Structure 1
Amino acid sequence: MIKPSHFYNFLIKKNISFFTGVPDSLLKDICAYITDNTSAQNHIIAANEGNAIALAAGYHMATNKIPMVYMQNSGIGNAVNPLLSLTDEEVYKIPLLMMIGWRGEKKDEPQHIKQGKVTADLLDAMKIPYLILDDDEQKAQIQLEEVILKINETNTAFAIIIRKGTFEKYSIKNKLETNYSLLREDAIKIIVNQLSGDELIVSTTGKTSRELFEYRVEKNQKHNADFLTVGSMGHASQIALGIALNKPNRKIICIDGDGALLMQMGGLSIIGAQSPKNLLHIVINNGAHESVGGQPTVAFGLDIPQIAIANKYKSAVQVANAQELELALKKLTENSYPALIEILTKTGSRDNLGRPTIKPVDNKTNFMQNLAQ
């Protein structure tokens, strides 16, 4: 295995000192080390992977240095446009070192298995050269020497693919500490407990959907009222909007996260413009990409309710404890929608948190049967 400190220091010696991207569980150790050891100006956790490519391009043009962009392989989709229309050798020819976590190479969740199968194909289609980084430090260093030489020679992008377990464990030290009383799971339980029974939930990817699923199991409730968005980070609100507009007699609740909201914030504008009278958008904000290592987001520095109001939501509030959340849910009226509730929470989750035992396609089928009623 590779020590994150050795990997990082090698890049610094090679004059690669700017890092941007979206955190990934397979890269959490190296990303945590970068977070702890790089200035805020030289390490920017981007809203999405396409933004990261653009940030890196701007950095290169300003400094004439090679930037590093990191992402999970599922983020390649967000990065395709700037990779092909900005940094590509037939357009602006901008050098990049890309570090991509290879989710789905082996046994994994369905959405990762699919992405794992096509990771190399996507890079081949874009004509981006790549290699799988060896987990032996000496071999990996030789690979990196060759990769950086290639980037300097061609002035183009090169990707290194990272398998699970490539890096030694490293836990982020500079965690944001808060005094908020609720965990995300606490908030989810309060939301479910306030339901009247006819509502439909679209939950965002990661631990949010996992915790929702397990609470339904705990309460011995069916799962057909919940669409568990196992992938498609940032898109849960638009799934919810598509449902809300076509099922105006059903109340639709989107349970979102701060990282997901930031990734596709333009969705707020579309919700506000469409003005569905039955959509409640709940954003659980713990200020971190917790599911993939705890790297911070910028969400605690934003006034999310005011952003929602500016995007023509009819009502938007921020709450920070159980009593405030319960009151905010009870105060909603037919004139409140589309409505947004931001819930400020602390980070953390159960060590024994499981994963949904239902297949995604079965979840969709059961959910659609409920919608048809």
Structure 2
Amino acid sequence: MLDPSWFVQTCREQGISLFTGVPDSLLKELCTTLDTTVGRGEHVIAANEGAAVGIAIGHHLRTASPALVYLQNSGFGNLVNPLLSLADPDVYRIPMVVLVGWRGRPGVKDEPQHVKQGRVMADLLDSIQVPWAVLPKDAAEAAQSLKEALACDGPYVLLVEKDTFAKAVRPAAQDRGAQASREEALTALAAAVGPTAAVVSTTGMLSRELFEYRERQGGHGQDFLTVGGMGHASSIALGVALSDPEREVWCFDGDGALLMHLGSLAVIADQAPGRYFHVVFNNGVHDSVGGQPTSIGRVDVVAAAMALGYRQAVSTDDVAEIPDLVSGLRESGGPALLELRVRPGNRPDLGRPTRTPEQNKQAFMAALRGGQG
């Protein structure tokens, strides 16, 4: 296994002067090290993977130095366009190391949403003619792989397998005072929304918590758990709402997902579905992949939603206010946003959905056909 601090130092010694990307569970030890040891401006957690490539390009244009872009392979599609249409040797010839967590690698058990992506990853890289290698777990071999990657005259991908990086030293958790947990807020929200509205929940811990809540309540049919495609839950919910305007549709979203495709809010506002309600659980971190901070602290979420055209937006960190706020949103109509400020973290014994994505889809579609609204 590689010491993440050693890896960061080796990157610097070989000329990398910027680290940017979207955190990943297989890279969380490296991401923790970057977050705690690399200064602001030298490490940028991007809104999405394509934006990270853009940041890397801009850095190279000014410094002539390469950047390291990191991500999970599930987000690889977000960076294909800038990777091929800008950074490629046939266009601007921008050198960069692209470190990709290889979820769903063949032969390694993983969650359903990662299996296809992992299986086609190598063939995908070959098909788009981007050179690549697997990052070795031996330090000397890893240093040599970095050297070879940096000798390339464009992007070079290093795939990272599970358990490549050793444990990093983690900072002490910040005191968030009396803020409720996401699960406490989710439970109060789901109870206030009720069992008949359609719910589209974002990827990560939130959907796992919603699944367990429904297990306790005895029904799952009204929920679509967006197990992949981070940032797209709000658009999926919009598609449902536009196809069934009499139905109440709720999107249960996260702050990192919101930032990843913030422009979708303008589209939602422009389409103006009157029974569309967007709830953002804001804990300030990428909770599902290690707790790295998002940039949401720079955003007034309520003001942003209103500026992008939502009919109304409110915010609270008080779980007791949720029922009244839900009632108020319903009375005024959508599209509307509710920001729930919660503390990071989740129960250590939190399980995973026991239904397959296909079973979840079929149950959700059957519930919608049933005419409940």
Bin the TM-score by the shorter chain: over 0.9
Deviation at 1:45, TM superposition (A): 0.3
Whichever residue aligns with residue 129 of structure 2, its letter is K
* SS of corresponding position for 2:332: coil
Greater shift in the superposed pair: 76-85 or 129-138 = 129-138
TM-score by length of 1: 0.96
The verdict on how the C-alpha distance between 1:201 and 1:20 changes in structure 2, with shifts beyond 3 A counting, is: same
- Measure the CA separation in 2 of the matches of 1:304 and 1:273: 18
* SS of corresponding position for 1:363: helix
The verdict on how the C-alpha distance between 1:176 and 1:70 changes in structure 2, with shifts beyond 3 A counting, is: farther
* 1:147 alignment counterpart: 149
The answer to whether the 8 A contact 1:281-1:339 is kept is yes
The answer to whether structure 1 residue 22 and structure 2 residue 19 are counterparts is no
The answer to whether structure 1 residue 243 and structure 2 residue 240 are counterparts is yes
Q: How large is the RMSD of aligned CA atoms in angstroms? A: 1.2
The answer to whether the 8 A contact 1:180-1:344 is kept is no
The answer to whether the 8 A contact 2:202-2:225 is kept is yes
* 1:217 alignment counterpart: 215
* SS of corresponding position for 1:26: helix
Deviation at 1:247, TM superposition (A): 1.1
The answer to whether structure 1 residue 313 and structure 2 residue 310 are counterparts is yes
Deviation at 1:324, TM superposition (A): 2.4
Provide the identity percentage. 45
The answer to whether the 8 A contact 1:47-1:259 is kept is yes
Of residues 117, 120, 135, the one that matches 1:118 is 120
How is 1:273-284 mapped onto 2 (pairs within 5 angstroms)? Answer: 273-284=270-281
* SS of corresponding position for 1:108: coil
Whichever residue aligns with residue 145 of structure 2, its letter is Q
* 2:86 alignment counterpart: 86
- Measure the CA separation in 1 of the matches of 2:212 and 2:348: 13
* 2:163 alignment counterpart: 165
The answer to whether the 8 A contact 1:200-1:253 is kept is yes
How is 1:18-167 mapped onto 2 (pairs within 5 angstroms)? Answer: 18-105=18-105, 106-148=108-150, 150-151=151-152, 155-167=153-165
The answer to whether structure 1 residue 356 and structure 2 residue 353 are counterparts is yes
The verdict on how the C-alpha distance between 1:171 and 1:202 changes in structure 2, with shifts beyond 3 A counting, is: farther
Deviation at 1:248, TM superposition (A): 1.5
* SS of corresponding position for 2:330: coil
Aligned length: 368
The answer to whether the 8 A contact 2:275-2:330 is kept is no
Deviation at 1:175, TM superposition (A): 5.2
Deviation at 1:133, TM superposition (A): 1.0
The verdict on how the C-alpha distance between 1:108 and 1:61 changes in structure 2, with shifts beyond 3 A counting, is: same
* 1:255 alignment counterpart: 252
- Measure the CA separation in 2 of the matches of 1:68 and 1:166: 17
Listed one character per residue, the Cα deviations across residues 230-273 of structure 1 (whole Å, up to 9, x for unaligned) are: 00100000000000111122111100000000000011001100
- Measure the CA separation in 2 of the matches of 1:260 and 1:135: 31
TM-score by length of 2: 0.96
The verdict on how the C-alpha distance between 1:196 and 1:294 changes in structure 2, with shifts beyond 3 A counting, is: closer
* 2:321 alignment counterpart: 324
* SS of corresponding position for 1:194: helix
Q: Where does the alignment leave 5 or more consecutive residues of structure 1 unmatched? A: none
How is 1:194-205 mapped onto 2 (pairs within 5 angstroms)? Answer: 194-205=192-203
- Measure the CA separation in 2 of the matches of 1:3 and 1:15: 19
